[in-house]
Amino acid sequence: WAEAREAYLRQGRNQQALDTVEKAAFFVTLDDTEQRYKAEDPVRSLDSYAKSLLHGKCYDRWFDKSFNLIVFRNGTMGLNAEHSWADAPIIGHLWEHVLSMDPVKLGYTEEGHCKGNPHPSLPGPQRLQWNIPAECQTAIASSLTVAKALADDVDSHIIPFNCFGKGLIKKCRTSPDAFIQIALQLAHFRDKGRFCLTYEASMTRMFREGRTETVRSCTVETCAFARSMVEDNPRELRLKLLKEAATRHQQLYRLAMTGGGIDRHLFCLYVVSKYLGEDSAFLKEVLSEPWRLSTSQTPLQQVELFDLARHPEYVSSGGGFGPVADDGYGVSYIILGENLINFHISSKHSSPETDSHRFGNLIKQAMLDILALFQLDANALA
């Protein structure tokens, strides 16, 4: 890729065209496929929607851009964001502004057009000119083959979990995030019969230029609870272990948010060791361990721009990402209002150990099994 860029895109009209793209704020794709949520076929329609936004046909997304605004043939939209410059809360905040601007702030004319006036000095679209010789076309075709193989290997699955949501979890006097993370550990243990190094992203925005810190959510306490659920144990013991696991998870999350996590410090030590030219067996081992379960919660309505209860049609299904490890899962979840949690699950078809749909079913069951421990009465469940 670097050699092809140097050979074919560093001079003449190609350099000028590429420079125009790379200096643009973002990239717009007018996708010729149709994607939308279908109530009559929610699973396949959402899976297709997510997979298209993640990689499309590979040649119709500019993955190096800050973000791609993707507009499908039937008018639905979505984003594909490059991760180095921002984290999910930034993209989520931006997207909620997009969702709320037309219907809530501007409104529509009687003909159905957006209100507002086009900027008078906006230039019209211009076709970029490229000179692509045969050798460059060969390089492009080769890269596309590699990209398509990677994209086709992604097993992407979305679960709109509507059996219960944040409202009922709070009645259990449990942190919703801890509840979900413990459910993920139980599901993973049932799926693979073992535990793994688990990544949960925590924000460090209390600090200037803060980004993220890692919550290592596969704790001793969570493992003890998961084991109790697959062994023959009384409900009281399981509930006790669950509460201990939830308390521990909240402690770790608070530490991560307030600068008390360990992973960014470990990375800093790694960078310093490279600068000093010193090898560290400890750092090599710690930083080479794969995150076979990588998780993240997408925050919703950091600023309340519209009422989700009154406008359910503006509810976003959230965002997702690919698996970090070849034999692992990527799980992103978004808590929507009081009664809905969307899970985005990804893995690789090529791994005999993973299956996104199977894992999704196990997550559902784990959520229900944990809730059952609290034996809430009918009024709470109503």
The residues assigned a catalytic role are 83
Paired tokens of 246: 């939830």
Q: What is the DSSP letter of 373?
A: T
Identify the bridge partners of residue 295 per DSSP, sorted by sequence position: 200, 331
Report the alpha-carbon distance of residue 358 to residue 260 in Å, rounded: 35
**Number of helical H runs and strand E runs in the chain:** 13, 9
Report yes or no: 162 and 339 within 8 Å, Cβ to Cβ: yes
- Whether the CB-CB separation of 366 and 190 falls below 8 Å is answered with yes
Task: Please name which of 80, 41, 75, 36 lies closest in space to residue 57, comparing C-alpha atoms.
Answer: 80
What backbone phi and psi angles, to 5 degrees, belong to 84?
-65, -30
Copy the structure tokens of residue 357.
């749909």
Length of the chain, in residues: 382
Beta strands in 340-381 (DSSP E): 340-348
